[in-house]
């Protein structure tokens, strides 16, 4: 095949950092009802609108008193208080509490003025209009203070946070009905005259036999974008034609926050996508990166927007998404990488990778006789689909290594729980 014509490939970190530095960090923002905000990235700091609790509040049923009046109380030496009345949940205090006075109070009710503590029923004896207190209560005893949980003005959720179910619940608790979130709209175009839309396929086997391919990259790219909380907008299949690609990309750059293409990006062959992007006066164009699979993966910045040009090979484009697309889109919304499940296991076979290249090896992790084993799946050859379905993990081999030996312990990013062969 020969990569005779390839230019110098760029190390991955350098590619990502260069794009991050040039990309505008403010993608589209939409305001959505809090119930629709799950999994979205918050577009501005969300501030607590009031104190929680909004007043000093009893946390037990009992008597609101001045704590200092209870000092010295004991079962053998009870202190007597005059009960002025009762205050329930949701009521506004109608009494104030002075020396030797008490107000009966329900859990959740506001403390009346003057009182600074609550004596539990269990530590009292009631006789008509008076109550005996049998134990001292410290200042703020059995009281939840105003703002103890949340203070008015405090940042509840920072810009860039991806909203999880409990975050949404907290916003709802505070009466926040709408929230501004990023709506990173990413246009997806798939390049290649060999591609056929799934909807147009009558018989996929005959599609294969005729040398065509169902455009599956559309689905992997749409799925990855959705999985990470971004908004895919599929704009179709493009022929390998310079002008058609250029015109489509140019129009898409005006409408979307980012563009992602698959196919038509190669190293050392005529590359219509890269040539088309070049003609759009990019601030940056990185043609090919030091990753494997996916050395043809390329990226540009045009008018402050990223244009990701990924390989047409399914595994290479998926790895390109992880390595190039995701970090840049997360950066645009002010978010960091989310933690990934990892597992350590022993390699069942040697993995050889090129030096100075970050390799993403799909692996099958399984347990056998109590051991966790990591089987590397073929990177090359024709195991293209089977690698995707059989793999449940990714072994990332860093640039400074040329692989790992059989029997070596490696750490793997887990995509699914390991199968047990026991």
Residues 92-151 that bind its own copies (CB under 8 A): 108-110, 144, 148-150
Contact status: 416 vs its own copies (CB under 8 A): yes
Contact status: 336 vs its own copies (CB under 8 A): yes
The position carrying tokens 């559309």 is 218
Residue ranges in 267-306 that form contacts with its own copies under rule CB under 8 A: none
Determine phi and psi for 150, rounding to 5 degrees. -135, 135
Range in contact with its own copies (rule: CB under 8 A) among 14-22, 85-93, 265-273, 396-404: 85-93
The position carrying tokens 């979307």 is 256
Contact status: 5 vs its own copies (CB under 8 A): no
Nearer to its own copies, 339 or 370 (CB): 339
Q: How many CA atoms lie within 13 A of 120 on its CB side?
A: 7
Range in contact with its own copies (rule: CB under 8 A) among 12-20, 131-139, 251-259, 333-341: 333-341
Nearer to its own copies, 24 or 151 (CB): 151
Radius of gyration of the chain (CA): 32
Looking at the DSSP assignment, which residues form a beta bridge with residue 371? Answer: 368
The pattern of x and - marking residues 178 through 207 that bind its own copies according to CB under 8 A reads ----------------x---xx-x-xxx-x
Nearer to its own copies, 217 or 357 (CB): 217
Checking DSSP bridges between strand 155-157 and strand 117-120, what pairing results, if any?
unpaired
Taking the complex as a whole, the smallest distance from the CB of residue 291 to its own copies amounts, in Å, to 17
**CA dist list (Å): 418 to 345, 356, 359, 394, 414:** 11, 30, 21, 12, 8
Helix (H) or strand (E) holding 133: strand 130-133
Nearer to its own copies, 224 or 307 (CB): 224
Select from 16, 52, 184, 259 the one that contacts its own copies (CB under 8 A).
Answer: 52
Nearer to its own copies, 4 or 72 (CB): 4
Sign for the CA dihedral angle at 140, 143, 145, 149 comes to positive
Nearer to its own copies, 282 or 393 (CB): 393
Contact status: 386 vs its own copies (CB under 8 A): yes
Contact status: 60 vs its own copies (CB under 8 A): yes
Contact status: 221 vs its own copies (CB under 8 A): yes
Taking the complex as a whole, the smallest distance from the CB of residue 417 to its own copies amounts, in Å, to 5
Residue ranges in 226-255 that form contacts with its own copies under rule CB under 8 A: 226-227
DSSP reduced 3-state for 2:
coil
Taking the complex as a whole, the smallest distance from the CB of residue 181 to its own copies amounts, in Å, to 14
DSSP reduced 3-state for 318:
helix
Contact status: 89 vs its own copies (CB under 8 A): yes
Q: How many Å apart are CA 7 and CA 29, to the nearest integer? A: 38
Q: What is the dihedral of CA 19, 21, 22, 26, to 10 degrees?
A: 100
Contact status: 90 vs its own copies (CB under 8 A): yes
Determine phi and psi for 347, rounding to 5 degrees. -70, 135
386 by Cβ neighbours in 10 Å (0-12 / 13-18 / 19+) ranks as exposed
Contact status: 385 vs its own copies (CB under 8 A): yes
Contact status: 47 vs its own copies (CB under 8 A): no
Taking the complex as a whole, the smallest distance from the CB of residue 356 to its own copies amounts, in Å, to 26
CA 401 to chain centre: 30
Q: What is the dihedral of CA 103, 106, 110, 116, to 10 degrees?
A: 50
> Number of residues in contact with its own copies, rule: CB under 8 A?
92
Extract the tokens encoding 17.
């950092």
Contact status: 50 vs its own copies (CB under 8 A): yes
């Amino acid at each position: 095949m020969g990569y005779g014509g390839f230019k110098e490939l760029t190390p991955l970190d350098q590619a990502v950092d260069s794009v991050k530095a040039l990309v505008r960090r403010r993608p589209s923002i939409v305001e959505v009802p809090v119930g629709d905000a799950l999994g979205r990235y918050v577009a501005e700091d969300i501030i607590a609108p009031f104190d929680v609790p909004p007043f000093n509040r009893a946390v037990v049923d009992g008597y609101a008193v001045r704590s200092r009046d209870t000092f010295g109380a004991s079962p053998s030496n009870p202190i007597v208080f005059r009960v002025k009345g009762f205050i329930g949940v949701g009521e506004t205090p109608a009494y104030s509490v002075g020396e030797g006075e008490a107000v009966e109070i329900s859990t959740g009710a506001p403390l009346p003025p003057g009182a600074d503590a609550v004596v539990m029923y269990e530590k009292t004896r009631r006789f008509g209009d008076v109550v005996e207190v049998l134990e001292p209560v410290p200042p703020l005893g059995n009281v939840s203070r105003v703002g103890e949980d949340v203070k008015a003005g405090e940042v509840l959720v920072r810009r860039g946070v991806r909203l999880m179910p409990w975050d949404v619940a907290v916003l709802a608790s505070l009466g926040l009905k709408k929230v501004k979130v990023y709506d990173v709209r990413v246009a997806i175009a798939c390049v290649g005259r060999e591609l056929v839309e799934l909807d147009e396929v009558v018989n996929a086997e005959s599609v294969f036999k005729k040398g065509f391919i169902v455009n599956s990259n559309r689905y992997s790219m749409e799925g990855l974008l959705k999985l990470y909380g971004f908004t895919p907008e599929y704009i179709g299949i493009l022929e390998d034609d310079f002008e058609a690609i250029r015109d489509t990309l140019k129009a898409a750059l005006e409408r979307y926050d980012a563009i992602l293409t698959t196919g038509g990006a190669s190293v050392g062959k005529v590359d219509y996508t890269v040539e088309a992007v070049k003609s759009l006066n990019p601030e940056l164009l990185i043609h090919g990166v030091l990753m494997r699979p996916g050395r043809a993966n390329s990226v540009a910045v045009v008018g402050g927007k990223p244009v990701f040009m990924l390989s047409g090979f399914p595994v290479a484009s998926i790895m390109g998404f992880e390595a190039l697309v995701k970090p840049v889109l997360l950066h645009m919304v002010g978010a960091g990488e989310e933690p990934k499940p990892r597992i350590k296991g022993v390699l069942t076979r040697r993995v050889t990778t090129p030096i100075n290249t970050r390799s993403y090896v799909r692996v099958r992790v399984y347990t056998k006789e109590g051991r966790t084993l990591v089987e590397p799946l073929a990177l090359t050859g024709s195991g293209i689909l089977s690698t995707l379905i059989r793999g449940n993990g990714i072994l990332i081999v860093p640039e400074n290594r040329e692989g790992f030996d059989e029997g070596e312990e490696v750490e793997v990013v887990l995509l699914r729980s390991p199968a047990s062969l026991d």
